[in-house]
Amino acid sequence: MAMEREGSQDIALALDPGNEDGTLSALRHAADDPEGPWQPAMIGTLLGKTTSNRVRNAAAVALADLNAPEGATLIAAQVARPEVAAASGTLLYALDRLGAALPLDAFLTVIEHGSFEARAEALELLHADRVDLADVRDPGAVLNRLESVLVSGSGDAVDAAAESLVVLAPRLSPGSASSGSRS
């Protein structure tokens, strides 16, 4: 019971924005003690609640270090947020380390709002057939999102959207062997 209380206090302290360095240190060492207070569920809670990019990145890497498959869904949910996409390169790296697929909507958000690093990570997942196309209901809308980046984007966003269109258009076309399946 004392260990559980101590773990809860550690998490409460970690959620304190004034203790970012302590949180980062604890997350970096989470895999050193897999039975310790920093379990994947607690790290996932922190990942979803923090407003710090540094803590979010460290939490995602800790989930990958712990080889926590449940972390993939939590990481992908963060990547799908436009305000996080710009700083999602490390999140995508952690997702890749977990061997998980990136949901298509999160992929598109990164192409639209991500940094150069994030777009490069997302494109690596696309080329490795690790962007999930299983739930595509409107392939035209997907292609339209990418085409809008071609028109209104700049620099590497345009390049990433063009590369994405080359890869995704054939996969999303009606009758395609991979249309509607995980790619």
* pLDDT tens-digit series, residues 107-128: 999 999 999 999 999 999 999 9
Do residue 110 and residue 122 come from a single domain?
Answer: yes
Do residue 20 and residue 96 come from a single domain?
Answer: no
Do residue 81 and residue 111 come from a single domain?
Answer: yes
- Tally of domains in the chain: 2
Do residue 87 and residue 103 come from a single domain?
Answer: yes
Q: Which of 68, 100, 116 is the last residue of a domain?
A: 68
**In angstroms, rounded to a whole number, what is the distance separating the alpha carbons of residues 119 and 109?**
10
Do residue 100 and residue 157 come from a single domain?
Answer: yes
**Amino acid, res. 39:** Q
pLDDT at 30 over 80: yes
pLDDT band at 4 (very low <50, low <70, confident <90, very high): very low
Q: Which of 12, 34, 68 is the last residue of a domain?
A: 68
Do residue 46 and residue 121 come from a single domain?
Answer: no
pLDDT in tens, 33-52: 777 777 888 899 999 999 99
State how beta strands 102-103 and 131-132 pair: parallel
Do residue 55 and residue 79 come from a single domain?
Answer: no
* Minimum mean pLDDT range among 12-16, 63-67, 89-93, 105-109: 12-16
Do residue 61 and residue 76 come from a single domain?
Answer: no
Q: Which of 34, 68, 102 is the last residue of a domain?
A: 68
Q: Tell which phi-psi region holds residue 135, choosing left (phi > 0), alpha (psi between -120 and 50) or beta.
A: alpha
pLDDT at 158 over 60: yes
Q: Which of 158, 90, 164 is nearest to 121 (CA)?
A: 90
**In angstroms, rounded to a whole number, what is the distance separating the alpha carbons of residues 11 and 28?**
14
How high is the pLDDT of residue 131? 97
**What is the torsional sign of CA 97, 127, 56, 73?**
negative
**Which residues fall within 8 angstroms of residue 107, CB to CB, at 6 or more apart?**
122, 125, 126, 131, 164
Predicted structure pTM score: 0.83
How high is the pLDDT of residue 173? 83
Do residue 98 and residue 38 come from a single domain?
Answer: no
Q: Which domain holds residue 119?
A: 72-183
Q: DSSP alpha helices (H): ranges in the chain?
A: 2-14, 20-28, 40-49, 53-65, 71-79, 82-85, 89-97, 104-113, 116-127, 139-152, 156-172
